[in-house]
Amino acid sequence: MALSNKEKETIWKVFKTLRSTSNQIADCHDLWLSDVRDIETAFWALYHEFKFIRNNCEKERNND
């Protein structure tokens, strides 16, 4: 099944966030609070956009 434009956009934003924060860690060996916020925002964007991620999180919760 092909990804929708919204799903593609979400994945691209997450990729850019990971790229940026990874570069920040490599350059400064540190993260800004804004980087942490961006990672958390990307995390929740994936969670809300992809049902299989929500389902897998639920399975993990039930196994703990």
Interval 13-62: pLDDT, tens? 999 999 999 999 999 999 999 999 999 999 999 999 999 999 999 999 99
Domain that holds residue 46: 12-63
Does 49 map to a domain?
Answer: yes
> Using the 8-state DSSP alphabet, how is residue 58 labeled?
H
Q: Total domain count for the chain?
A: 1
Does 2 map to a domain?
Answer: no
Does 45 map to a domain?
Answer: yes
Provide the whole-model pTM. 0.79
Contacts 24+ apart (CB under 8 A), 2-10: 6/49, 7/49, 7/50, 10/45, 10/46, 10/49, 10/50
Does 42 map to a domain?
Answer: yes
Does 1 map to a domain?
Answer: no
Does 34 map to a domain?
Answer: yes
Does 51 map to a domain?
Answer: yes
Q: Does the pLDDT of residue 64 top 90, yes or no?
A: no
